[in-house]
Amino acid sequence: MAETKIDYVIAIPTFIGSLLSFLASAVAIVLQIARPPRRHFRHALIVNLLISDCINSLGNTISGAIFLYLGYTLSDTTPPSAACIASGYIGQLSVQTIDFNILLISIIVLVSIIKSELIARISNTNQILVCVAAWVPALITSHVALGLNVYGYVSGNWCWIKASRVDLRYGLTHGWRLFIFFATIIIYTYIYIRLQRTFRSLRTFGGTTGTQPSREVGRNPGSDTEHILVSHDITVTHELQEIPQGRFHGLHKVSSQGIKSPKESSFGVSRPTLESVSGPHYASHMPAPPNVKKMLLMNGYPLAYIILWIPGIANRLAESTGQSPRWLKALQASTQYVGLVNSLTYGISEQMRQEVWKKLKGPSSS
């Protein structure tokens, strides 16, 4: 049995990351249950993500505590114990479920922008099926690795696919993760561009004369604006709600028939119907376009998730080509903070954010 004295520079930050991720994901799950946001499909996927984060970080915390207690690690040539195999299996299952949950959340946000009524009408059964679908690839790959008996001791505080099986590491995990990285970047880039164009058009149409543009925005159920204003599908409306109502008072002075009483859309979003608003006057009272970058980040753009995983992939790549340097192994600890970041990014609902924001602004802002 080949033993190597544990490197605390690597082991301690890794253990701290696992522990923080477990605590954060557990707290986020409790908050989602105790203070659930308005019911929407994305909420189910967020809970699904938090559960997989909690399982993964708990397993890594337990294995990390064991290695720290023993004071040494074992080489990948050492026959793995039953506990090591279980750790590797649970780690593969949970970490890949996290990846696919990230992808599914990105897709749901995209569909909410393009075709919001499709998400609004999805049945509970289909929601459950989509959540289960996030676990299917992980169940397949984790069982394949188990059947091939490739779980063993690896660098870090856990067990996983042995370094000698680089083909399986990339075929079962890293290849899929890289695909998800690029897919989510493409999806959110498209969402960013689409939102920018939509809010730019909201500013532009106010400068034209006539009633047709206002009718299109106010009444067309298939418009981009309609999709964006569906607050239960994608949380991009709270910044608009924060704009002082005084900025819209001029709209009521333009014409006694200019704005009808708010109508309730088919998606439960209250909005005014514009009929005959003077273009230049309306443009002068239009609110500034919201910060689209901020809205994307608050809606779960997985930028931090991608950044935190780069050192981990680089370390595994270095291990496959030879000896990984110590500094890169230490940087790999960043992967254990993914659960913490996911909990902060996805686990705090829009209602919680708005409540905190209102408290920070104080009663004078209301």
Full DSSP string of 235-247: --SHHHHTS-GGG
Q: Which of 233, 265, 293 is the last residue of a domain?
A: 293
Q: Which of 293, 315, 346 is the last residue of a domain?
A: 293
Full DSSP string of 211-264: SHHHHHHHH-TTSHHHHHT-TTTS--SHHHHTS-GGGGTTHHHH-TTTBPPPEE
* Residue linked to tokens 């050192």: 311
Whether 317 contacts 173, CB under 8 Å: no
Mean pLDDT of 169-175: 92
pLDDT single digits (tens) 323-337: 788 899 889 899 999
Q: Is residue 61 part of a domain?
A: yes
Are residues 18 and 152 both part of a single domain?
A: yes
Q: Is residue 156 part of a domain?
A: yes
Are residues 115 and 144 both part of a single domain?
A: yes
Q: Is residue 174 part of a domain?
A: no
Rounded to whole angstroms, the Cα distance separating 359 from 340 reads 24
Query: Domains in the chain: how many in total?
Result: 2
Are residues 148 and 254 both part of a single domain?
A: no
Q: Is residue 177 part of a domain?
A: no
Distance of alpha carbon 170 from the chain centroid: 23
Are residues 207 and 220 both part of a single domain?
A: yes
pTM of the complete model beyond 0.85: no
Are residues 125 and 198 both part of a single domain?
A: no
Are residues 59 and 199 both part of a single domain?
A: no
Q: Is residue 187 part of a domain?
A: no
The number of beta carbons lying within 10 Å of the beta carbon of residue 190 is 13
Domain range for 85: 3-167+296-361
Mean pLDDT of 36-56: 83
Amino acid of residue 173: T
Instruction: Check which CATH number belongs to the domain holding 96 and give it.
Output: 1.20.1070.10
For 2, 64, 199, 219, the CA distances from 230, given in Å and listed in that order, are: 59, 44, 15, 14
Mean pLDDT of 69-92: 89
Rounded to whole angstroms, the Cα distance separating 366 from 251 reads 21
Are residues 66 and 152 both part of a single domain?
A: yes
Mean pLDDT of 259-277: 41
Are residues 151 and 47 both part of a single domain?
A: yes
CA atoms within 13 A on the CB side of 225: 22
- Tell me which of 65 and 158 has the higher pLDDT: 65
Q: Which residues contact 230 (CB under 8 A, 6 or more apart)?
A: 112, 116, 120, 267, 269
Are residues 221 and 237 both part of a single domain?
A: yes
Are residues 130 and 144 both part of a single domain?
A: yes
Structure tokens at 204: 């532009």
Q: Is 329 exposed, middle or buried (0-12, 13-18, 19+ CB in 10 A)?
A: buried
Strand positions, DSSP E, 9-131: 72-74
Q: What are phi and psi of 69, to 5 degrees?
A: -70, -40
Q: Is residue 147 part of a domain?
A: yes
pLDDT single digits (tens) 224-253: 333 333 333 334 433 334 444 444 344 344
Q: Is residue 199 part of a domain?
A: yes
Structure tokens at 50: 């938090």
Whether 335 contacts 308, CB under 8 Å: yes
Q: Is residue 321 part of a domain?
A: yes
Reply yes or no on whether the pLDDT at 147 is more than 90: yes
Whether 101 contacts 52, CB under 8 Å: yes
Are residues 103 and 231 both part of a single domain?
A: no
Averaged pLDDT score across all residues of the chain: 75
In angstroms, how far is the first alpha carbon of the chain from the final one? 67
Are residues 277 and 319 both part of a single domain?
A: no
The number of beta carbons lying within 10 Å of the beta carbon of residue 96 is 25
Q: Which of 233, 267, 293 is the last residue of a domain?
A: 293
Rounded to whole angstroms, the Cα distance separating 160 from 237 reads 43
Using CA of residue 214, residue 219, residue 223, residue 225, what is the dihedral sign? positive
pLDDT band at 210 (very low <50, low <70, confident <90, very high): very low
- Tell me which of 57 and 192 has the higher pLDDT: 57
